[in-house]
Amino acid sequence: MNPAPARDSEPQPLIRLTGVSKIYGTGQAAMHALRGVDLAVAKGEFVAVMGPSGSGKSTCMNIIGCLDTPTRGSYRFNGIEVGDLSRDQRAILRRHCLGFVFQGFNLLNRTSALENVELPLIYRGVPLRQRRRQAATALAAVGLAGWEHHTPGELSGGQQQRVAIARAIVTTPEVLLADEPTGNLDSERSLEVMRLLTDFNQREGLTIVMVTHEPDMAAFASRQIHFKDGAIEAIRTA
């Protein structure tokens, strides 16, 4: 199964999974979350990952996000074999190359929007003033200029998710990984968030991999990958 032969001829896709399997447990109780997945995502793509729960899409996202490693097969990120990296090396890779957006926003409570956005910069060792400036710029980019000092409790769900997006893009990552970013939002806020993501993808060339089970949201992506029973069932290109 070779999902995208044309792209394989390109020098090096940003994300390349080759025969990736993930097995939890051993023997009789072994659970095959992924069964030999092959997937390549090129720089600048906007990919939606879809499928029912238990289909393996979350496991696949965790592996792409370097939070987990394949049991078998190879995952190369930018040519680096992630399976060979230690826990800390994967943390460094996430720190420098990946941005995360979660369904539940995962902002720090009682902490201002600005400080939430600064968080990844702290781990990068960016000095305070530069951090403040970059965080303010990122907040302005998601349309939240003037909301810097509001805490998550004082922001709407849509605004909170935009703060989370600002936190993900403040480090100018190679890939933005969004795990059901609109799952907790009403349709209007969902559209706002999707427009924002599309905007970053088209204007900045930001590579986005997004998990969703809403076809309306997946429609924004340039490619839809459907998972079923731990394998890719279909790929649709917009």
Partner 1 sequence: MWWETFMLALRAIQRNALRSGLTVLGIVIGVAAVITMVTLGGGATAKVTEDIGKLGSNMLQLRPGQGFHGPGGARVSAEPFEVADAEALAREIANLEAVAPTASRSMQVIQGNENRSTTVIGTTDGFVLVRDWDLEAGRIFNPGELRGGKAVCVIGETVREALFGGLEPIGETVRLDRISFKIIGVLAAKGQTSFGTDQDDLVLVPLRTFQRRIAGNTDVQVIYVSARDGVATDRVKTRMERLMRERRRIAPEAEDDFFVRDMQEIVSTMTSTTRVLTTLLGAVAAVSLLVGGIGIMNIMLVSVTERTREIGTRMAIGAMERDVMRQFLVESVVLAGLGGICGILLGLAAAGVGARLMGVPFVFNPGIVCLAVIFSAGVGIVFGYFPARKAARLDPIEALRHE
Here's the x/- map for partner 1, 136-175, by CB under 8 A: it reads as -------------------------------x--------
C-alpha 145/C-alpha 159 separation (Å) is 11
Residue range at the interface with partner 1 (CB under 8 A); choices 18-26, 106-114, 141-149, 225-233? 106-114
C-alpha 180/C-alpha 36 separation (Å) is 24
Question: How many Å from the N-terminal Cα to the C-terminal Cα in the chain?
Answer: 20
**Nearer residue to partner 1 within complex by CB, 100 or 200:** 100
Angle at 49 between CA 224 and CA 74, to 5 degrees: 110
C-alpha 113/C-alpha 72 separation (Å) is 40
| Of positions 46, 75, 77, 100, contacts partner 1 by CB under 8 A | 100
Q: Is 62 in the site for partner 1 (CB under 8 A)?
A: yes
Per the document, the length of the chain is 238
**Nearer residue to partner 1 within complex by CB, 207 or 224:** 207
> How many C-beta neighbours within 10 Å does residue 135 have?
25
Nearest distance, CB of residue 229 and partner 1, angstroms:
20
Contacting residues toward partner 1, per CB under 8 A? 62, 65, 67-68, 87-88, 91-92, 94-96, 98, 100, 102, 104, 106, 108, 110-111, 119-120, 122-125, 167
